[in-house]
Amino acid sequence: MKVYFKSFKEVVEHVVSTLSEDVIKVFACTGFKVWKRRNIFVFEGKFENPSRVALSALNLSKDLKEANDSNTEMDHGRQLESGPWRPPPLNVYKANWDASIDRASSRMGIGVVVTNWEGRVMATLRSSRKLVPDAKLAEAVAALRAVLFCKQLGISRLLLEGDALNVVNDLNREEVDWSAKGMIIQDIKSELK
């Protein structure tokens, strides 16, 4: 059977209407990685091998599946927020942080959004660095980066918000954890003093 499409929109409509949910997710990840490859080539002049793009897309879809799997979610200590987003109290800033891991490229990404008490975005940060081997450690590194970013901005009254429950719980604990993640948590606590 031959199928012809006049636009990418028609391709997407065909994929969504005829293929399974798992294949649609792989298709979406592949589209994202192809677009990202194109942007890297256009804006940075770097060429990425197409087979690496395909492998990266498969790894991304696998990571997304793991992240959405309830058992994996519990293993990583992540908790979905159940209520609506709320701005921080008057004259307090909120730094929302998160980390992501791209195993195919051996990189981790950090994102931070700083909002004021009116809910207005005041600053954002995105950062990429060599892969941290553990997802929990990556989340702790992202939280530390959020705190350091806010210090650079001169923000002293700060509320941290992240979706890594294990990091949030560790920040609220008094006892010292001597693991690599625990040392990052101690750095965060000392920066917040």
- By C-alpha distance, which of 189, 165, 153 is closest to 73? 165
Residues 125 and 164 in one domain: yes
Residue 183 C-alpha from the chain's centroid? 22
* Residue where a domain terminates, one of 31, 53, 68: 68
CA distances from 4 to 10, 12, 32 (A): 9, 12, 22
Using a pLDDT cut of 90, give the percent of the chain over it: 11
3: in domain:
no
| Residue recorded with tokens 């293993």 | 75
Residues 54 and 105 in one domain: no
Domain limits for position 23: 8-68
Residues 102 and 175 in one domain: yes
Residues 119 and 176 in one domain: yes
Residue 47 C-alpha from the chain's centroid? 24
Residue 111, beta-bridge partner list: 98, 126
19: in domain:
yes
Say which CATH number the domain at 111 has.
3.30.420.10
85: in domain:
no
String of DSSP letters for 20-33 = -HHHHHHHHHHHHH
pLDDT tens for each residue of 11-70: 888 888 998 988 888 888 888 888 888 888 888 888 888 888 888 888 878 877 766 653
pLDDT tens for each residue of 138-174: 888 999 999 999 999 898 888 888 888 888 888 888 8
Instruction: Let me know: does 131 contact 106? Beta carbons within 8 Å.
Output: yes
For the chain, the first-to-last Cα distance in angstroms comes to 66
Residues 97 and 186 in one domain: yes
Q: What is the pTM of this model?
A: 0.56
Give the mean pLDDT of the chain.
Answer: 81
Residues 99 and 165 in one domain: yes
74: in domain:
no
Residue 189 C-alpha from the chain's centroid? 22
pLDDT tens for each residue of 90-110: 889 999 988 888 877 778 889
